[in-house]
Amino acid sequence: MSKDRMRSVKASLIAGAMLLSAMPSVPGYAINASADENAYMMNENFEGSNSWEGRGGAAVEVSSKNSYSGSSALYCSGRTASWNGAQITLDSSVYKSGSTYSFSVETGFFEGRSKTNKMMLSLQYTGADGDPVYAHIAQANAVRGRYVQLANTAFTIPEAAVDPILYVEMEKDSENFYVDDVIIAAEGTTVDGPAEAFLNPGDINFSGRVDVFDNILARRGLINGFSDGASNLAADVNEDGEYKIDDLVQISSYVLGRKDEFEVYIPPKKEFIYDSNLQYKPAPENDQVNYFRQPAEHGQVIKENYDGICGNKNMYVYVPYGYDPSQKYNVFYLMHGGGESEETCFNDDAINIDIMLDNMIANGDIEPMIVVTPTFNKCASADAVWEEMRKSIIPYVEAKYSTYADGDVSLSSLQASRYHRAYGGFSMGGGSTWANFNHNLDIIAYFMPLSGHCWDGANAVCNAARQSGFAKNEYFVLAATGTKDLAYENMVPMINDLKKNTDVFTYTSDFSQGNLYFLEAPGNVHWWPQVRHYIYDALPYFFHEGT
């Protein structure tokens, strides 16, 4: 494998001497208790009837697919918020306020996008003032494909607590999970179970280090596979999504001291041929080829509700046909104009951006991507939505959907994935695009202002570029409008001013050579049915630069 297709990363490993004891297998799970089972106040193994129910929007059912012990476990699915999960109401006459008990539950997730997740066992109850109160009993990190135990041998139900509800929840809100062997017993009762585990490359047996035992398991796994998905994740040290001979070679070399780093595979980028003088061309719309006629392979538009810094709001998320949470997708945030809403782009039959996206993807104009239509309504102004984008909208979307942030919406992660994020908008949404350039350049690399003027002027845009510390090949603007559009007379002088500032902008639509271009549509006016064609022209030029 050529070096230009690899990058070197430090494996997060705990150094230590090799153990020369008997060869361990991938950890199994045994349940042994210090008290007799008959002393358990609750011992729910989901082998018979089920008294648990879904919490929030979640649904629960008994499943035989991924049990911890026995033949079945409780499967929790359909979660749309982190607090959604599985719950059971406790009998207050049995589980008394002010009393202390031992709680234990085995839980894990076996599907979805996340490799790791935080699992929590919690208690809801009504406090003395009549309001609901929430308390964590236990929490632990879980690795996909492996159960983890949540246990607390001495948790006290608070005094005056009424109507206690025991529930299992997960930090990330889009994953399904399983629950098994729920035990409540006398204070001090211990139940053996799988310890908290962390995903470290090469640490197949989750011992906390990579050693000869992992090397042996790696060899066995190449022939026979692994007993659980978590071990397969740990063995995939080059992170290409599949355990193969290259992973084994790297693990062996590491154990033998021939390398102290694992090399991660970087797929080669597809070469894109830019036109340095892009011209306006409307999307095909005729009897033979119609980009606004729904194809057989239609993506899905999902309505999302979130609580942001501007209040409770909705937005829509387009995911392409065949969306696979195990894959990573570029994401384009598309803002509406004045007097419109998040409904406009996907739910207006005169616009149908989603159907245009379906056809662009099907015909190879763009790679499958996620497109989000939020709203600036409820913000102080369209110009001010940049802050909600930064603090609410982007974190919500990219924690839930599979983007290059990989579920990590910390600032450092959003900055690292900025080349896979774009923002554009029409009219006032176009104005908000310039505002996002001025304030969010560190987390967004591509911008598409459509028939929208920058209210702060060209100087503010140039200063934002200078102060960002980015080079000219690290941010890109492709603006567009019609020559009869009411925004035209404002956009032309602004673009001309930007072109003069050659220290921060190089004018060309070949983004391998420059970073600024203005697409003019002869005769087009300020109207979405015409403006949508600018997206058709511009979007294929995004997401080819950077890393």
| Confidence (pLDDT) at 413 | 96
Task: Report the 3 state secondary structure along 104-120.
Answer: EEEEECCCCCCCEEEEE
Instruction: Give the count of alpha carbons within 13 A of 270, CB side only.
Output: 11
* Residues 96 and 240 reside in one and the same domain: no
Q: 110 with 229: CB under 8 angstroms?
A: yes
**Average pLDDT for 263-287:** 91
pLDDT tens digits along 340-389: 999 999 988 899 999 999 999 999 999 999 999 999 999 999 999 999 99
Give the end of a domain, one of 186, 206, 224. Answer: 186
* Residues 166 and 202 reside in one and the same domain: no
Distance CA 29, CA 178 (A): 15
Distance CA 410, CA 544 (A): 24
pLDDT tens digits along 513-542: 999 999 999 999 999 999 999 999 999 999
* Residues 310 and 446 reside in one and the same domain: yes
**Average pLDDT for 453-474:** 96
| Confidence (pLDDT) at 523 | 98
Predicted confidence band at 467 (pLDDT cuts at 50, 70, 90)?
very high
Q: 139 with 120: CB under 8 angstroms?
A: yes
* Residues 501 and 468 reside in one and the same domain: yes
| Confidence (pLDDT) at 5 | 38
CA distances from 234 to 13, 144, 217, 251 (A): 11, 10, 11, 11
Predicted confidence band at 325 (pLDDT cuts at 50, 70, 90)?
confident
Domain-embedded: residue 32: no
Question: Residue 413 carries which side chain, given as an amino acid letter?
Answer: S
DSSP state of 255: H
Distance CA 543, CA 420 (A): 6
* Residues 213 and 349 reside in one and the same domain: no
| Confidence (pLDDT) at 18 | 34
| Confidence (pLDDT) at 174 | 72
**Mean pLDDT, rounded, of the chain:** 91
Name every residue whose Cβ is closer than 8 Å to that of residue 291 and which is 6 or more positions away in sequence.
283, 284, 285, 355, 356, 359, 360, 536
| Confidence (pLDDT) at 152 | 97
Distance CA 289, CA 287 (A): 6
| Confidence (pLDDT) at 16 | 34
Domain-embedded: residue 333: yes
Q: Which of 44-48, 122-126, 210-214, 272-276 has the lowest mean pLDDT?
A: 44-48
Return the beta strands (E) in 132-261 as ranges.
132-143, 148-156, 162-170, 177-186
pLDDT tens digits along 183-224: 999 999 999 999 999 999 999 999 999 999 999 999 999 999
Query: In the chain, how many domains are there?
Result: 3
Residue 306 sits in a domain whose CATH number is: 3.40.50.1820
* Residues 374 and 261 reside in one and the same domain: no
Domain-embedded: residue 508: yes
Distance CA 221, CA 208 (A): 19
| Confidence (pLDDT) at 354 | 97
pLDDT tens digits along 409-430: 999 999 999 999 999 999 999 9
Of these ranges, 56-60, 264-268, 296-300, 392-396, the one predicted with the greatest mean pLDDT is 392-396
**Average pLDDT for 175-188:** 95
Q: 476: which 2 tokens? A: 């890109």
Distance CA 276, CA 459 (A): 25
CB atoms closer than 10 angstroms to residue 110: 18
* Residues 175 and 57 reside in one and the same domain: yes
Domain-embedded: residue 275: no
Domain hosting 114: range is 37-186
Is residue 286 scored above 80 in pLDDT? yes
Residue 467's SS3 state is: helix
Domain-embedded: residue 273: no
Residue 84 sits in a domain whose CATH number is: 2.60.120.260
Distance CA 150, CA 183 (A): 10
Q: 450: which 2 tokens? A: 């459509």
Is residue 36 scored above 70 in pLDDT? no
* Residues 161 and 228 reside in one and the same domain: no
* Angle at CA of residue 501, ends 500 and 505, nearest 5°: 105
* Residues 257 and 365 reside in one and the same domain: no
Element (H, E) at 449: strand 446-450
Domain-embedded: residue 100: yes
> Does residue 33 or residue 250 have the better pLDDT?
250
* Residues 380 and 440 reside in one and the same domain: yes
Element (H, E) at 74: strand 73-77
| Confidence (pLDDT) at 32 | 36
Give the end of a domain, one of 186, 209, 237. Answer: 186
Of these ranges, 46-55, 156-165, 170-179, 493-502, the one predicted with the greatest mean pLDDT is 493-502
Is residue 4 scored above 60 in pLDDT? no
Q: 127 with 133: CB under 8 angstroms?
A: yes
Give the end of a domain, one of 243, 265, 287. Answer: 265
Residue 354: phi and psi, rounded to 5, are -65, -40
Residue 202 sits in a domain whose CATH number is: 1.10.1330.10
Domain-embedded: residue 277: no
How far is residue 57 CA from its own chain's centroid? 19
**Average pLDDT for 129-139:** 94
Distance CA 17, CA 69 (A): 34
* Residues 91 and 240 reside in one and the same domain: no
Is residue 7 scored above 80 in pLDDT? no
* Stated length of the chain: 547
Max Cα-Cα span within the chain: 83
Of 317, 492, 278, give the one whose Cα is nearest residue 396: 317
**End-to-end alpha carbon distance in the chain:** 19
Question: Residue 497 carries which side chain, given as an amino acid letter?
Answer: D
* Residues 168 and 252 reside in one and the same domain: no
With b meaning 16 or more CB within 10 Å and e meaning fewer, what string describes 344-382?
Answer: bbbbeeebbbbbbbbbbbbeebbebbbbbbbbbbebeeb
- Helices and strands per DSSP (H, E), number in the chain: 12, 21
Domain-embedded: residue 153: yes
Residue 416: phi and psi, rounded to 5, are -70, -25
Question: Residue 431 carries which side chain, given as an amino acid letter?
Answer: G
pLDDT tens digits along 83-119: 999 999 999 999 999 999 999 999 999 988 788 999 9
**Average pLDDT for 290-300:** 93
Residue 135: phi and psi, rounded to 5, are -140, 135
pTM above 0.75, yes or no: no
Q: What is the DSSP string of 275-294?
A: -TT----PPPBSSS-BTTS-
| Confidence (pLDDT) at 113 | 75
Is residue 307 scored above 90 in pLDDT? yes
Predicted confidence band at 309 (pLDDT cuts at 50, 70, 90)?
very high
Residue 442: phi and psi, rounded to 5, are -75, -15
Q: 106 with 157: CB under 8 angstroms?
A: no
Name every residue whose Cβ is closer than 8 Å to that of residue 490 and which is 6 or more positions away in sequence.
453
